[in-house]
Structure 1
């Protein structure tokens, strides 16, 4: 017996249509490589519309569009179809395979990678990487390359050494179904289609904990890492828990079917190190929640902030630490700064939230900016995105504006000070405790 079911996302497809049309009309500026940095990387943000139960299209209802038309006309034709208007927009993510030494091992990401010399441009690099990693040809007639999102310079997190320029490109497929994906086992553990509704929902906002002691592995080894972990705890970043509508696992990756000998042969010390210091997302752990954070969250935040309800700033949380006394010191030293930055945001600037990882940060670059100097657009660890907004400053020649790191202006300078204060506090507390213990021992020995 058939029953009428409510559509899960009324009104979202028309908004997406407007956003994609605007992205095509007003592309973000090209960001050249800074001095002494030659690497560029591209990622593909791939969208699709999942038909709903009450508006499931028949074979004759699906029109992939005329590839000879302009991008705007193709978007108009696609979104004019009833099944698209009532459909549920989704984004494709990958979970990276676990690889020793890879700082992004097991992370949720977008298909993409570094630009090769044979790539014609940054978009060609995104297309090639999508083909290699997931087996999707984005040059077919049923795919539309809409445009780009803000490019950014990826740098070391606590410094200003540029690593690469990251270039995101937006694609949408006009098919009602997706092609069979061919996952590269050395690169991709799984793919996940996530509804835009879930990404926009406040219900899935959470945090990711990152082991900052990994930064000291080479300098001091295991003992130094353990000491840093015991003092600072974990660093906490804003994140989004992902609810997949469809998942494809790469069953040929090592560890997909657990080995009965897994963990055997390791010494007691090796097991202890793994237990105390490892927090990397294991691509073979199918029960671990999928979390969107880091650079990928930054890219998605730029995009999501263009869609209603435009409330990503209100859902975002400042990065901090799990150690209670350090968290308290950070809160005190950044209180006035956070209030001031929030007033600036509410005065008219609409920003988007992001979170970067423990090793890299990002700089949003506006035309004519010089990243070799201090830049108010700097987006430190866990910074804000660089999405388009209509604020009072940073207006470009085409009349648009770009969201700068308003929420994090000056935050990481205060965070460094807070760490120094915290270390001084811990040393003082430890010295006082040691002195008290020494006096107690002396009294008992007399």
Structure 2
């Protein structure tokens, strides 16, 4: 007999309660770059077919997870992603180079306007404008805020804006239908596809041309030179498996084949099938949410005995990031969103020099781990994630200088040797 899958609802309950009771790390905008943005991470629970009739009156967060229909084995927690035909400005830094065979998903949200009352207002306003869901209605509740995130460019040297993620829960089984913009497609994705050990997430990569991050847009010659000398970068990504999509296209025509293509991991488009990928900032925020379902890793043999007693979350192995630049990092100890933004380069010598110059970064990570192991929770007085990112990006910049100089000297030596061989004999 096959083992019964573990329900995701208790893990979701624990995560949302921890988010509500944990103050987020708020990053103040520097005077030189006051721009901010906010996104809404929306979660719902779909009742089991033929299960108990859900009540229509909204309840509190604690009462919600005590309802019979929520705890029904057939209930399905889902998280909302959306696909934009035209990415929002805050996504531009992560989506400059696209593979036409893949589409990237994100959360509803956008920039904070001058008359917005704060990040929460921005997330709610942008959600209403983008997909027609009014998060101010009684069907929804704001659970809390995840840590602010710095959106940077030029490998961390220039700050673009501060991003604030807010987590919302749909308290009712049925809410008014969304009304997304014509260029936006919604994807309600089962949380089990992201955290279940029985159906682990399918990891992939997103390849980005390094020249798009290192060279000016209008300098074609310099971009070509950087592309040849440095190559490309690969970021971790998860292939998203949506549970449901609109039954009609924006022009009103039915999508008869869309469910079949979704089961294969593809999205039907007007031109060709595309694979949906979750990566970059959106992956980092998703993993931040998932990390609240994970207990700190055991630090001794005595503590490891707790795993067998069931005190360790079953999704711990699911959050291990493949092919990241942080090989020594335990995702269930250090914030998973940190490793999700670390690229690996296509040239092995670039990765080698990053490791050579990464001593300071590794010291920061060890200090972060020691802080978490010592107190059981992250020491929020220290910006560990910011320090780790800045030191890792510093290692990348040093590595790229060494590689580019070495390649340039190699080319000059090769040209000089060829000239001597041809004209010196």
TM-score over 0.5 for the pair: yes
Q: How does 1:40-439 map to 2 (within 5 A)?
A: 40-52=36-48, 56-58=50-52, 61-66=53-58, 74-85=60-71, 86=73, 87-98=75-86, 103=92, 104=95, 107-158=104-155, 160-177=157-174, 179-186=176-183, 188=184, 190-200=185-195, 203-215=201-213, 218=216, 221-248=219-246, 251-252=249-250, 287-308=273-294, 309-310=315-316, 314-315=320-321, 317-318=324-325, 319-334=343-358, 336=359, 340=363, 343-344=366-367, 346-347=369-370, 349=372, 390-391=377-378, 393-395=379-381, 404-405=385-386, 408=389, 410-439=391-420
Q: How big is the shift at 1:417?
A: 1.2
Q: 1:158 to 1:5 in 2, by over 3 A?
A: closer
Give the paired residue count: 359
Q: How big is the shift at 1:46?
A: 0.3
Q: 1:431 to 1:323 in 2, by over 3 A?
A: same
Taking the aligned partners of 2:361 and 2:422, their CA distance within structure 1 comes to 46
Q: 1:85-132: per-residue Cα shift (whole Å, max 9, x none)?
A: 232321101111136998257642100112233433322221111111
Is the Cα–Cα contact under 8 Å of residues 345 and 406 in structure 1 kept in the other structure?
A: no
Taking the aligned partners of 1:21 and 1:99, their CA distance within structure 2 comes to 32
Q: How does 1:13-52 map to 2 (within 5 A)?
A: 13-28=9-24, 30-52=26-48
Taking the aligned partners of 2:80 and 2:210, their CA distance within structure 1 comes to 29
Q: What is the CA RMSD across the aligned residues, in angstroms?
A: 3.7
Please give the secondary structure, in 2, of the residue aligned with 1:139.
Answer: coil
Q: 1:59-83: per-residue Cα shift (whole Å, max 9, x none)?
A: xx2024446xxxxxx1222111233
Taking the aligned partners of 1:100 and 1:346, their CA distance within structure 2 comes to 34
Q: 1:63 to 1:345 in 2, by over 3 A?
A: same
Q: How big is the shift at 1:184?
A: 0.8
Q: 1:100 to 1:342 in 2, by over 3 A?
A: closer
Tell me the TM-score normalized by structure 1.
0.69
Tell me the TM-score normalized by structure 2.
0.72
Please give the secondary structure, in 2, of the residue aligned with 1:46.
Answer: strand
